[in-house]
Amino acid sequence: MNTKSFLLSLIFISFGYFINAQNWITGVSFLPNPANECDNILIVVNGNLSASNCTYVSTHVISGSNITIDINTSCSGIGLPVITPYSNSVNLGMIPSNNYTLTVNQYSTFGLQETNVSSLNIGTCCNAISDVSTVSSSNCIGDVTSFIDGGT
């Protein structure tokens, strides 16, 4: 192999390696919308991978009012440099009512590539107000008692 062929091969391999590093997030959404604390919350992250041999793995952490989803992409072997869409669903389950900061980080072999930050407001399931009172202000053990339900 001559020097020219070697250098061209090295450039081709390097170009392919760096091309594979260009993965990106196209959107982040959640279901249901609007979401409440009694709902099973599903976060959907859509993105693109830069080659046919790229894959992804995701993890998530809920800490206080912060939800962080990390998506780790990698490209191994030889693949075609073609944009490959992906959709990653993260099931958070039921989480308490709160206004959360949702951070989605996408990493490649070279480190952090992109961060997408949005807000996720989780409402309450029931706006009922309890208002139960007795008809009589004094009750003794054994007395018949009636209640008035003034709640919603």
pLDDT band at 3 (very low <50, low <70, confident <90, very high): confident
More confident residue, 146 or 10: 146
Say if residue 111's pLDDT is above 80: yes
Q: Alpha-carbon torsion 35, 40, 41, 45, what sign?
A: negative
Q: In this predicted structure, what is the pLDDT of residue 19? A: 46
**pLDDT tens, residue by residue, 43-71:** 999 999 999 999 999 999 999 999 999 99
Say if residue 146's pLDDT is above 90: no
DSSP 18: H
Task: Provide CB contacts within 8 A for 150, sequence distance 6+.
Answer: 131, 132, 133
**pLDDT tens, residue by residue, 63-104:** 999 999 999 999 988 889 899 999 999 999 999 999 999 999
Q: How far is CA 107 from CA 13, 14, 34, 71, 98, in A?
A: 21, 19, 29, 6, 28
CA 40 to chain centre: 13
CB 32 within 8 A of CB 43: no
Q: In this predicted structure, what is the pLDDT of residue 143? A: 74
Residue in 61, 56, 27 with CA at minimum distance from that of residue 44:
27
Question: Which residue reads 């709902």 in tokens?
Answer: 39
pTM: 0.71
Question: Which residue reads 């490649």 in tokens?
Answer: 108
More confident residue, 108 or 4: 108
